[in-house]
A and B are shown apart, each in its own frame.
Chain A
Amino acid sequence: MNQSATISSAAPASTRAGLLVRYGIWIALALTLLLLPYVFSSRLALSTMSLMGTMIVFALSYNMLLGQTGLLSFGHAVFFGLGGFATVHMLNLVGGNSYPIPLPLFPVVGALGGLFFGVLFGAVATKRAGTAFAMITLGIGELVASSALILRRFFGGEEGITTDRTDMLRVFGYSFGPQIQVYYLIAAWCFLSIVLMYAITRTPFGRICNAVRDNPQRVSFIGYDPSTVRFIAFSLSGLFAGVAGGLSAINFEIVNAAQMGAVESGSVVLMTYIGGVGNFAGPIIGAILVTWLQLILSDATTVWPLYVGLLFIGVVMFAPGGIAGLLSMQQPLLAARTLHRVLPYYFLMFVPGAVAVAGLAMLIETSHQFSIRAAYGPRMTLYSIPFDVTTLTPWAIGAVVFAVGLWLFLRAARLARNAYDAALPQRGNR
């Protein structure tokens, strides 16, 4: 995978400049998290960023399984939800200041909850890998989600458990009522989790995980038990998912059974894979992108899951490394200072690509207006052009734009590919 190439380039340390290169990225990340609220100060932006921060931790924890250990889980939301429930129960227990514990420490409770259930379910699930593992996690997910509605005292039934985060011991007078304070709490935990999860990938254990992903047989030859490695990875992944659940509980002050369901488990798969499983930063990109799509694309069109589904299929088929994979493919070119040779081709590819997407969107939206939204009349406006969907013209235009765009895109993609290969330094990573 590309990961090793990406990381090793940051490795030469020991000199001062080396240290700066090594830690510069973390300082930049911390500064970004610190300064973001000054750039986007609206309350919506704060809520959105808080949600994104939570989802980043969640997606990264998922990638400990999928990307690093090669385990495809369809029930990861279980740990997210159970971590959230652990946190919210502890908040209510401690609430009213009966024990002096400040709010920022509570994600630890989520972590412990996630770890506990990670160990419990991991003991069952990680005996197997591959397809069987995927099915077991699917089954566990269903089991927990169904039980949650039956066990009403712990899970609070359909409406879930609510809490009040401002009711805790206050440190430095922070009440955590305003969203901005919650944002910083989440940002801090997000940063900490990213650092920890990155650190885990750098340990010998992280390496063994990769080995289990790539060739479990050889791992057992060198004396490690693959299923033990999977078990530890699964438990740790549950721990961080629990942190994410705890952050979510603090952010929304409510946790309920829907959070553990198949939909949530599915969306973390989408986030992680679209972002890129082969690169540590991939899930971060994916979490930001998919959360954004869920919130914003859903305003533009109610068939947004279709677009997300198509995007996902597109990534699986054409860019299995995800968005981060595509970005890190540029690394060797950047190092060889040949990127400028390829950029024009990318631009050439991008234009018809955008045209093709626009044409496809036009086809989809026109059919949507024609079928589901028929009661709203045949008139609609797309790209600020009004038209009538009962006439043939918009369909024809959409189809032609799509076809032409796609054809040109494929041509340009071939050119770009050649240019890329040519620009790649000799003895490159392929």
Chain B
Amino acid sequence: MRTFIGSAALALAMLGSTALSAMAQETIKIGYVDPLSGGGASIGQIGLNQLNFIADEVNARGGINGKQVQIVGYDNQTNPQISLVQVQKAIDEGIQVIVQGNGSSVAVAVSDFITKYNERNPGENIVHLNYAAIDPVLTNEKCSYWHFTWDASADIKMEALTNFMKDKEDIKKVYLISQDYSFGHAVAGAAKRMLNEKRPDIEIVGDEYHPLVRITDFAPYVAKIRASGADTVITGNWGQDLALLIKAAGETGLDVDWYTFYAGGAGAPTAIKQANLENKVFQINEGINNLGYGPAEERAGAYMERFSSAPVYFPRVFNMMDMVFKAMEEAGSEDPGDFIPKLVEMKHDSFAKGEEGFMRADDHQFFQPLYIAALGELGEGEKFDEEHTGWGWKLAATVPTEDTLLPTTCEMERP
């Protein structure tokens, strides 16, 4: 029983070291709460790399409002509960800007926490910058004044993708395959709804769901796609669920076009090259390499040179930080309470090609031009390949900002 006392003493000693008070700061600290260890870290680390890269750029120019920018990483282990304690830790250390992206589960928890925090602690303003979680609830039912998102939501991407597909006459039969969780259902649901409306002649020959990251062998699914006679597959899969699916398709010689959200994600280009599916796999996102836009090539080139072991970046993170820094400078303040009004309705030339996008006031969603591209052999003047495969993204179509607009059900409460 004496060990009780021991444990209490241990707890005291530990808490003592955590209770370091926030120090007076000459720097602008930005908290990055994302997975930095465990399975999710492969993506979480990329975001941190990119934030550090941007901070170094800004600091080399003399900082923001004369202050240096510092990125502080907090490992949330993709666990919503740990995330909330880490956000609390960041706030206690004087951080007012929280960047988070991976996992809608975490994003909903963080956004909810920050909104309640600001409400329960008047005078304190914390903002949640979301660069990757795209569950539509975040900009609809659960939208918040303190949450901003830069990635296009599943509905927006599908709206743009179906606008592109509706003009392709050779699409007759479409197969849908998605991971069995809320995001996968959002993707498949939107695809069915929108295709039905825009191209009623297209037949949906399959609507398949499979458990999230549980599958090692996709051969049966590929056999099913083949048996359905589909010529096109739409999938919201990411990570190994996409890479293994593509590999299985390549192995067995399935000849269809693939429309994906995440074929640009880490590991997927390698799988596409291994499966030898040249110009067959399309992805939609907010920017690719090889758009021939000078400033982007220069900046992305410098980034990929520095992080050559993981040469993957998210154009939206550039958009996000550029806009936030611009808002801070316009407001002359780093307090979210001051710079949020500048951020709302801000127009911004998107990173990838300099085309204009804007932050919508209704739901704090950034609307931007989207690009549909296929992976294939690099052509003349195309400098960047993906993951050292020798293949790169080649533009198939540009969807201008105005074709991505979707209504929102958000009823935002503004302070």
| B18-60 at interface with A (beta carbon < 8 Å) | 18-19, 21, 36-38, 41, 45, 49, 52
User: Pick the contact of A152 from B17, B113, B182 — CB < 8 Å?
Assistant: B182
Report whether A248 and B81 are in contact in the complex, using a CB–CB cutoff of 8 Å: yes
Report whether A284 and B4 are in contact in the complex, using a CB–CB cutoff of 8 Å: yes
- Closest residue of chain B to A324 (Cβ to Cβ) is B3
Q: A215 contacts the other chain (Cβ, under 8 Å)?
A: no
The interface on chain A, measured as residues whose beta carbon lies within 8 A of the other chain's beta carbons, has a size of: 69
Whole-angstrom distance from the CB of B151 to the nearest CB of chain A? 16
Report whether A288 and B212 are in contact in the complex, using a CB–CB cutoff of 8 Å: no
Interface-facing stretch out of A64-72, A156-164, A415-423: A156-164
Q: Chain B contacts of A372 at CB under 8 A?
A: 45
Q: Chain B contacts of A36 at CB under 8 A?
A: 11, 15
Q: A315 contacts the other chain (Cβ, under 8 Å)?
A: no
Q: B84 contacts the other chain (Cβ, under 8 Å)?
A: yes
Q: Chain A contacts of B2 at CB under 8 A?
A: 6, 327-328, 331, 334
Q: A14 contacts the other chain (Cβ, under 8 Å)?
A: no
Q: B362 contacts the other chain (Cβ, under 8 Å)?
A: no
Q: Chain A contacts of B84 at CB under 8 A?
A: 47, 252, 254
Chief secondary structure at chain B's binding surface: helix
What separation, in Å, do the CA atoms of A419 and B16 have in the docked complex?
33
What separation, in Å, do the CA atoms of A175 and B103 have in the docked complex?
31
Whole-angstrom distance from the CB of B273 to the nearest CB of chain A? 24
Q: A43 contacts the other chain (Cβ, under 8 Å)?
A: yes
Report whether A254 and B112 are in contact in the complex, using a CB–CB cutoff of 8 Å: yes
Q: B104 contacts the other chain (Cβ, under 8 Å)?
A: yes
What separation, in Å, do the CA atoms of A264 and B78 have in the docked complex?
11
Most A CB contacts (10 A, CB to CB) among B11, B74, B86, B182 go to: B11
Q: Chain A contacts of B78 at CB under 8 A?
A: 258
| B94-117 at interface with A (beta carbon < 8 Å) | 103-105, 107-109, 112-113, 116
Q: A303 contacts the other chain (Cβ, under 8 Å)?
A: yes
Whole-angstrom distance from the CB of B294 to the nearest CB of chain A? 24
What separation, in Å, do the CA atoms of A92 and B120 have in the docked complex?
20
Q: A52 contacts the other chain (Cβ, under 8 Å)?
A: yes
User: Pick the contact of B180 from A149, A254, A327, A375 — CB < 8 Å?
Assistant: A149
Interface membership of chain B positions 182-213, coded 1 if the CB is closer than 8 angstroms to chain A and 0 otherwise = 11010000000000000000000000010110
What separation, in Å, do the CA atoms of A304 and B76 have in the docked complex?
12
Q: B265 contacts the other chain (Cβ, under 8 Å)?
A: no
Whole-angstrom distance from the CB of A252 to the nearest CB of chain B? 5
Whole-angstrom distance from the CB of A128 to the nearest CB of chain B? 25
Q: Chain A contacts of B89 at CB under 8 A?
A: 44, 47, 295, 299
Q: B412 contacts the other chain (Cβ, under 8 Å)?
A: no
Interface membership of chain A positions 147-158, coded 1 if the CB is closer than 8 angstroms to chain B and 0 otherwise = 001101000011
| B299-344 at interface with A (beta carbon < 8 Å) | 306-310
Whole-angstrom distance from the CB of B65 to the nearest CB of chain A? 26
What separation, in Å, do the CA atoms of A254 and B108 have in the docked complex?
9
Report whether B18 and A295 are in contact in the complex, using a CB–CB cutoff of 8 Å: yes
Q: B406 contacts the other chain (Cβ, under 8 Å)?
A: no
Most A CB contacts (10 A, CB to CB) among B74, B180, B183, B310 go to: B180
The interface on chain B, measured as residues whose beta carbon lies within 8 A of the other chain's beta carbons, has a size of: 68
Q: B397 contacts the other chain (Cβ, under 8 Å)?
A: no
Q: Chain A contacts of B104 at CB under 8 A?
A: 158-159
Report whether B211 and A146 are in contact in the complex, using a CB–CB cutoff of 8 Å: yes
What separation, in Å, do the CA atoms of A152 and B5 have in the docked complex?
44
What separation, in Å, do the CA atoms of A29 and B9 have in the docked complex?
11
Q: B389 contacts the other chain (Cβ, under 8 Å)?
A: no
Q: Chain B contacts of A32 at CB under 8 A?
A: 8
User: Pick the contact of A281 from B7, B79, B180 — CB < 8 Å?
Assistant: B7
Q: A388 contacts the other chain (Cβ, under 8 Å)?
A: no
What separation, in Å, do the CA atoms of A39 and B19 have in the docked complex?
10
Whole-angstrom distance from the CB of B211 to the nearest CB of chain A? 5
What separation, in Å, do the CA atoms of A258 and B91 have in the docked complex?
24
Interface membership of chain A positions 284-296, coded 1 if the CB is closer than 8 angstroms to chain B and 0 otherwise = 1100110010111
- Closest residue of chain A to B52 (Cβ to Cβ) is A376
What separation, in Å, do the CA atoms of A159 and B16 have in the docked complex?
34
Report whether B38 and A263 are in contact in the complex, using a CB–CB cutoff of 8 Å: yes
Q: Chain B contacts of A248 at CB under 8 A?
A: 81
Q: B241 contacts the other chain (Cβ, under 8 Å)?
A: no
Most B CB contacts (10 A, CB to CB) among A28, A44, A52, A177 go to: A44
Interface membership of chain A positions 336-379, coded 1 if the CB is closer than 8 angstroms to chain B and 0 otherwise = 00000000000000000000000000000000000010111000
- Closest residue of chain A to B75 (Cβ to Cβ) is A298
Whole-angstrom distance from the CB of A307 to the nearest CB of chain B? 11
What separation, in Å, do the CA atoms of A149 and B15 have in the docked complex?
36
Q: B405 contacts the other chain (Cβ, under 8 Å)?
A: no
Report whether B182 and A44 are in contact in the complex, using a CB–CB cutoff of 8 Å: no
What separation, in Å, do the CA atoms of A264 and B81 have in the docked complex?
11
Q: Chain B contacts of A159 at CB under 8 A?
A: 104-105, 107-109, 135, 137, 182
Q: Chain B contacts of A295 at CB under 8 A?
A: 18, 82, 85-86, 89
Report whether B11 and A288 are in contact in the complex, using a CB–CB cutoff of 8 Å: yes
What separation, in Å, do the CA atoms of A263 and B306 have in the docked complex?
33
Also in contact, A43 and B5, with CB within 8 A (given A162-B112, A258-B105, A303-B37): no
What separation, in Å, do the CA atoms of A260 and B79 have in the docked complex?
11
Whole-angstrom distance from the CB of B86 to the nearest CB of chain A? 7
User: Pick the contact of A40 from B15, B37, B209, B310 — CB < 8 Å?
Assistant: B15
What separation, in Å, do the CA atoms of A256 and B182 have in the docked complex?
12
Whole-angstrom distance from the CB of B236 to the nearest CB of chain A? 12
Also in contact, A160 and B19, with CB within 8 A (given A6-B1, A51-B81, A375-B49): no
Could you list which residues of chain B lie within 8 angstroms of chain A, going by C-beta atoms? 1-8, 10-12, 14-19, 21, 36-38, 41, 45, 49, 52, 73-75, 77-82, 84-86, 88-89, 91-92, 103-105, 107-109, 112-113, 116, 120, 135, 137, 142, 180-183, 185, 209, 211-212, 214, 306-310
10 A-B pairs with C-beta separation under 8 A = A6-B1, A29-B8, A42-B92, A158-B182, A159-B108, A159-B135, A263-B38, A295-B86, A302-B73, A303-B37
9 new A-B contacts, CB < 8 A, other than A36-B15, A49-B15, are A44-B89, A49-B11, A256-B80, A259-B80, A295-B18, A299-B89, A327-B3, A375-B307, A376-B52
Counting from the closest, the 5 A-B pairs by CB-CB distance are A157-B182, A298-B75, A281-B3, A159-B108, A44-B92
